[in-house]
Amino acid sequence: MARRLPFIRPILVKLPYGWADIAFLLGLFLLLYGLEKVGRGFFDAFNPPGITPTISLDPANLPYYASRSTIRMFIALGVSVVFTLAYGYACAKSRQAEKVLIPLLDVLQSVPVLGFLSVTVTFFIALFRGNLFGLEVASIFAIFTAQAWNMTFSFYHSLITLPRDLDEAASVFRLSKWRRFVSVEVPASMIGLVWNAMMSFGGGWFFLAASEAISVLERNYTLPGIGSYEAAARSSLWWS
């Protein structure tokens, strides 16, 4: 009788990652590569009136212009979120600060975007002399002023109207101010904050032409972007 050999089952080594992880890493790499390629233009030489950016109406440049504008929008949104959390928290937690900061916020939101540009453009250009980054910061700041105010009011209102059960739960568990902030107050305000962030981001697109094609003190400054492309196309149609 032939001796039967024991069945040897192959051992498959399960990899710690799958196709979804590979696709995510590849997408992340492509995103970072694109940001590096596009963001390099943020630091071009800038020395008016001799060295200034120009806008080409060739449609082939639209993807690049759209990328520049989108990066500005998301940077401004990130700054708006940080400003919202800090400013709204200070207003809600201090009666003395509330009496000053809330009226100040009302005044700031009543100032049009062009009112901020007339002051900030000259300042940021002088701060980053010889570099386009100063004009980029001025443009991002202009978009920020179109996004931040209603987000701040929303977060402030959420903090002062925090449901009693959440407030009591935070007190029962003796949460520190930081744990209360990140575990109770921010999550409770997230629906209103996300909604207003979406509205602010959408509203910011309307100010791209003003923030990328800037005219201050009879000087015209232009940044590559969808807003400046639109302004250049409109001027071309007007003069034709």
Residues in Cβ contact with 191 at an 8 Å cutoff, skipping those fewer than 6 apart = none
Residues in Cβ contact with 114 at an 8 Å cutoff, skipping those fewer than 6 apart = 210
Q: Rounded to whole angstroms, how far apart are CA atoms 154 and 147?
A: 12
Question: Domains of the chain by range and CATH?
Answer: 61-239 (1.10.3720.10)
Q: Rounded to whole angstroms, how far apart are CA atoms 209 and 25?
A: 35
Q: Rounded to whole angstroms, how far apart are CA atoms 186 and 89?
A: 10
- The tokens for 155 are 């977060």
Neighbouring CB atoms inside 10 A of 73's CB total 24
Q: Are 87 and 151 in contact (CB under 8 A)?
A: no
pLDDT the model gives residue 170? 85
Looking at residue 93, what DSSP letter applies?
H
Cis ω before 10 (30° cut-off from 0): no
Q: What is the pLDDT along the chain (240 residues), one digit of tens a residue?
A: 455 555 545 555 565 667 787 888 888 888 888 888 887 878 877 777 666 777 888 888 888 888 888 899 999 999 999 999 999 999 998 889 889 999 999 888 887 776 777 778 888 888 888 788 888 888 888 889 888 998 999 999 999 998 888 888 888 888 888 999 999 999 999 999 999 999 888 888 877 777 777 776 667 778 888 888 887 787 776 655
Q: Are 65 and 226 in contact (CB under 8 A)?
A: yes
pLDDT the model gives residue 10? 52
pLDDT the model gives residue 52? 72
How many residues can be counted in the chain?
Answer: 240
pLDDT the model gives residue 181? 92
Rounded to two decimals, the pTM is: 0.82
CA angle 147, 151, 153 (to 5 degrees): 125
Residues in Cβ contact with 207 at an 8 Å cutoff, skipping those fewer than 6 apart = 113, 142, 143, 146, 227
Crossing angle of helices 133-160 and 95-110, in 10° steps, is 130
pLDDT the model gives residue 239? 56
pLDDT the model gives residue 238? 62
Residues in Cβ contact with 160 at an 8 Å cutoff, skipping those fewer than 6 apart = 92
Least Cα distance to 223 among 80, 34, 78, 44 occurs for 44
Q: Rounded to whole angstroms, how far apart are CA atoms 152 and 102?
A: 10
